[in-house]
Structure 1
Amino acid sequence: MSSRADSPILKGESVETTVKAGADMGNAEKGDNESSIVTLDPSEDPKSLPLARKWIIVLVICSAALCVTCTSSIAASAETGETGSFHVSKEVTILGVSLFVSGLGLGPLLLGPLSEFYGRNLVYWVSYTLFWLFSWPVAFAPNIAVFLVFRFLGGFSGAAFLSVAGGSVSDLFTNEHVANPMAVYTISPFIGPVVGPLISGFINQNLNWRWTYRVQLIWAFSEMIALVLLVPETYEPILVKRKAARIRKETGKDPASSSPDPHDKGVLRSILISCYKPFQLLAYERMALLLDLWNALVLGILYLAFQAFPIIFEQGHGFNVQSTGMSFLGIGFGMVLALASQPYWNRVYIREYQKYDGESPPEVRLLIGMPGGILVSLGLYWIAFTTFKGVHWILPIVGSIPFGIGILYVFTATFTYLVTAYRPMAASAMAGNSALRSAFAAGFPLFATQMYARLGTVGATALLAGLTTLMAPLPFIFYKYGSRIRSKSKFAIA
Structure 2
Amino acid sequence: MSAHGSDSTIDVASTEEAPAQDVEKAVDKGKQAASAGVQVADADPYEVKLTPEEDPKNMTKFRRWLAVMVISTAAFCVTSCSSAASFTEAGTMADFHVSHEVAILGVSLFVQGLGLGPLLAGPLSELYGRNIVYRASFFFFWVFTFPVAFPPDMATFLVFRWITGFCGAAFLSVAGGSIGDMFANHEVATPMAIFTVSPFVGPAVGPLVAGFITQNTNWRWVYRVFIIWNFIQFVCIVAFVRETYVPVLLKWKAARLRKSENESRYWAPLDRHQGLWHSIQQSCYVPFKLIILDRMALLLDLWSALLLGILYLAFQVFPIIFGQGHHFNVQSVGMTFLGIGLGMVVAVACTPLWNALYRRETARHNGNPPPEMRLIIGMVGAVIVPISLYWLAFTTYPHVHWIVPIISSVFLGIGIVFCFTAVFTYLVVAYRPVAASAMAGNTFVRTSFAAAFPLFAGQMYDALGTVGATALLAGLTTVIAPLPFIFYRYGARIRASSRFAA
State TM-score, norm by structure 1: 0.94
Q: 1:456 aligns with which of 448, 462, 465?
A: 465
- What is the CA–CA distance in structure 2 between the aligned matches of 1:486 and 1:463, rounded to whole Å? 32
176-185 or 110-119, which deviates more: 176-185
How far apart, CA to CA, are the structure 1 residues paired with 2:59 and 2:364? 33
Which residue among 447, 452, 455 is the counterpart of 1:443? 452
Which of 136, 145, 151 is the matching residue for 2:146? 136
1:147 and 1:55 map into 2 onto residues whose CA distance is 36
What is the alpha-carbon distance in structure 1 between the residues aligned to residue 117 and residue 87 of structure 2? 25
Correspondent of 1:238 among 226, 233, 248 = 248
Q: Which amino acid letter does the alignment assign opposite residue 466 of structure 1?
A: G
Matches of residues 71-110 of structure 1 in structure 2 within 5 Å? 71-110=81-120
- The residue aligned with 2:9 is none
Q: Is the 8 A contact 2:117 2:167 kept in 1?
A: yes
* Paired letter, 2:17: D
Distance 2:491 2:102 in 1: 43
Contact 1:370/1:476 (8 A) holds in 2: yes
Which of these residues, 5, 16, 20, is aligned with residue 28 of structure 2? Answer: 16
Does the 8 Å CA contact 1:3/1:434 hold for their aligned counterparts?
A: no
Question: Structure 2 vs 1, CA of residues 137 and 56 (structure 1 numbering), >3 Å: closer, same or farther?
Answer: same
1:338 equivalent to 2:350? Answer no
What's the secondary structure of 1:15's corresponding residue? helix
Output aligned runs, 1:209-358, within 5 Å. Answer: 209-259=219-269, 261=270, 264-358=273-367
1:153 pairs with 2:138: no
Find out whether 1:40 has 2:50 as its counterpart: yes
Q: Which runs of 5+ in 1 are unaligned?
A: 20-24, 28-33
Runs of at least 5 residues in structure 2 that lack an aligned partner in the other structure: 1-11, 32-36
CA distance in 2, matches of 1:376, 1:262: 48
Paired position in structure 1 for 2:499: 490
Cα separation, 2, equivalents of 1:459 and 1:425: 41
Match of 1:54 among 64, 77, 102: 64
1:3–1:300 Cα change, 3 Å: farther
Q: 2:187 aligns with which of 170, 173, 177?
A: 177
The aligned amino acid for 2:62 is A
The alpha carbon displacement at 1:6 in A equals 3.1
CA RMSD of aligned residues (A): 2.1
Separation of aligned partners in 2, 1:396 and 1:438: 26
Q: Secondary structure at the match of 1:75?
A: helix
The separation in 1 between residues aligned to 2:284 and 2:85, in whole angstroms, is: 29
Contact 1:112–1:163 (CA under 8 A) maintained in structure 2: yes
Does the CA contact (< 8 Å) of 2:67 and 2:241 recur in 1? yes
Contact 2:250-2:268 at 8 Å conserved across structures? no
Partner Cα distance (2:360, 2:15) in 1: 29
Separation in 1, partners of 2:18, 2:65: 17
Most deviating of 317-326 and 238-247: 238-247
Q: Does the CA-based 8 Å contact 1:17-1:39 persist in structure 2?
A: no
State which of 455, 458, 479 in structure 2 corresponds to 1:470.
Answer: 479
* Deviation digits for residues 6-51 of structure 1 (CA, Å, limit 9, x no counterpart): 369x9999933449xxxxx999xxxxxx824421111111111222
Does the aligned pair in 2 maintain the 1:72–1:100 contact within 8 Å?
yes
**Contact 1:135–1:150 under 8 Å retained in 2:** yes
Mapped partners of 1:159, 1:26: distance in 2: 37
| 2:72 counterpart letter in structure 1 | C
Q: 1:13 to 1:482 in 2, by over 3 A?
A: farther
* Distance change (3 Å), C-alpha of 1:87 and 1:217: same
| 8 Å contact from structure 1 (residues 7, 167) kept in 2 | no
8 A Cα contact 1:244 1:255, kept in partner:
no
* 1:102–1:6 CA distance, 2 compared to 1 (3 A): closer
- 1:225-258 deviations in Å (ceiling 9; x for gaps): 0000000000000111111222222211123544
How far does residue 208 in structure 1 lie from its aligned partner after superposition? 1.1
Asked if 2 retains the 8 angstrom alpha-carbon contact of 1:345 and 1:368, the reply is yes
Query: Any conservation in 1 of the 2:47–2:268 contact (CA below 8 Å)?
Result: no
> Partners in 1 of 2:324 and 2:402 — Cα distance?
12
| 1:6 alignment partner in structure 2 | 17
Q: Distance in 2 between matches of 1:474 and 1:384?
A: 23
The equivalent of 1:165 in structure 2 is 175
Q: How big is the shift at 1:265? A: 1.6
The answer on whether the counterparts of 2:47 and 2:266 sit within 8 Å (CA) in structure 1 is no
Whether the aligned pair in 2 keeps the contact of 1:2 and 1:108 (CA below 8 Å) is no
Matches of 1:379 and 1:263, distance apart in 2: 52
Give how far 1:196 is off.
0.5
Structure 1 position 360 matched with structure 2 position 372: no
Distance in 2, matches of 1:340 and 1:93, equals 36
C-alpha contact 1:5 1:113 (8 A) present in aligned 2 = no
CA–CA distance in structure 2, aligned partners of residues 26 and 471 of structure 1: 52
Aligned residue type for 1:395: V
Verify the 8 A CA contact 1:422 1:429 in the aligned structure 2. Answer: yes
Equivalence for 1:31? none
Q: How much does 1:401 deviate?
A: 0.6
**Residues 119 and 233 of structure 1 are in contact (CA less than 8 Å); yes or no, is this contact kept in structure 2?**
yes
Matched residue, 2:439: 430
> How far apart in 2 are the matches of 1:17 and 1:250?
25
- Give distance in 1, aligned partners of 2:38 and 2:186: 32
Conserved 8 A contact 1:2-1:433: no
Equivalences, count: 480
- TM-score after normalising by structure 2: 0.92
- State whether residues 2 and 434 of structure 1, in contact with CA within 8 Å, keep that contact through their aligned partners in structure 2: no
Alpha-carbon distance between aligned partners in 1 of 2:422 and 2:70, rounded to the nearest angstrom: 25
Q: Distance in 2 between matches of 1:335 and 1:481?
A: 29
**Contact map agreement 1:94 1:446 (CA 8 A) in 2:** yes
SS in 1 for 2:187: coil
Identity of paired residues, percent?
Answer: 59
Task: Determine the C-alpha separation between the residues in 2 that align with 1:478 and 1:82.
Answer: 45
For the 8 Å contact 2:109–2:161, the answer to whether it is kept is: yes
